[in-house]
Amino acid sequence: MRRPIAAAALLTALVLTGTGPPAPAAAQQPPGTDVAACRDGSCTLRVTGPVEIPLDGRAGQSAVSVTGIGTHAVAFLVSEGDRRSYGVTGTGGTVRFTTPDGTLTIRVLELADGAATIELSSSASGA
């Protein structure tokens, strides 16, 4: 009987202090720099300048390019066949590019010293 009460007290203390359990180990792994690892539209990548990231098209996009990294924002260009779409966001921000085939979501995790850490995730329609 005492263990459930102790666990509940610990959980309550964590919630009230605004802290939680440590982040999972996977979230602490350093981001990669290999754009080929992003082909399926799911990766965390550190970029230091303009770069094109080829995608396999499962969500409708054939490529996403980082076109610029500024002090406060990162600019993206997404190719969708013969169409182009643009998005700009800063640290903690998200841009979404949607086609009839699915959605590509890009989140800027960190932006410092001319480099950006971005997270790509894609989902096909109906997924």
Domain boundaries, the chain: 25-124
Reduced to 3 states, what is the DSSP secondary structure of residue 93? coil
Nearest to 58 by CA among 4, 85, 97: 97
CB atoms within 10 A of CB 16: 8
Per-residue confidence at 84, pLDDT binned at 50, 70, 90?
Answer: confident
**What distance in Å separates the CA atoms of residue 77 and residue 87, rounded to the nearest whole number?**
7
State yes or no: pLDDT of 116 exceeds 70: yes
State yes or no: pLDDT of 121 exceeds 90: yes
